[in-house]
């Protein structure tokens, strides 16, 4: 759906940071290639202060730092959904963004 332009992919400095530290070159290259070809928007490091302030709020609910930065970046970018398979992260709930699994996302968006 991203490749078809039906969904807009937002990436962030934290995603790039984590991908750069991926020990598997094929996976790392595939991720960067996908991002390069399909990203609609990017929350860059120049927004780090505001992102990490929001991340600190999110972390008060038990979310780890990097995950909180991913969610904060998505909120900052105005994303409607944050899609994850991380059960602990999915426990975070906010009126600012819908936290969903890939399957829940498909079910919810197909009903629309």
Q: pLDDT for 34-56, tens place per residue? A: 999 999 999 999 999 999 999 99
For residue 112, what pLDDT band results from cuts at 50, 70 and 90?
low
Q: What is the pLDDT of residues 65-90, one digit of tens each?
A: 999 999 999 999 999 999 999 999 99
- The two tokens of residue 90 are 């999915």
pTM value? Answer: 0.92
- Per-domain residue ranges for the chain? 9-111
What is the spatial distance between Cα 48 and Cα 52, in angstroms, rounded to a whole number? 6
Answer yes or no: is pLDDT of 111 > 80: no
| C-alpha distances out from residue 9 to 34, 37, 38, 43, 84, Å | 10, 10, 7, 11, 14
* Over residues 17-36, mean pLDDT: 97
User: Which H/E stretch holds residue 87?
Assistant: helix 87-90
What is the spatial distance between Cα 80 and Cα 95, in angstroms, rounded to a whole number? 10
Q: Is the domain defined by 9-111 classed in CATH 3.40.50.1010? A: yes
């Amino acid at each position: 759906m991203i490749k078809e332009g039906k969904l807009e992919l937002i990436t962030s400095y934290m995603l790039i940071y984590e991908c750069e530290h991926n020990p598997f070159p094929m996976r790392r290259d595939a991720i960067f290639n996908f991002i390069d070809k399909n990203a609609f928007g990017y929350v860059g490091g120049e927004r780090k202060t505001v992102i990490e302030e929001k991340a600190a709020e999110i972390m008060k609910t038990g979310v780890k730092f990097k995950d909180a930065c991913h969610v904060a970046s998505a909120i900052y970018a105005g994303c409607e959904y944050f899609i994850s398979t991380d059960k602990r992260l999915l426990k975070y709930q906010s009126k600012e963004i819908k936290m969903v699994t890939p399957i829940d996302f498909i079910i919810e968006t197909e009903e629309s």
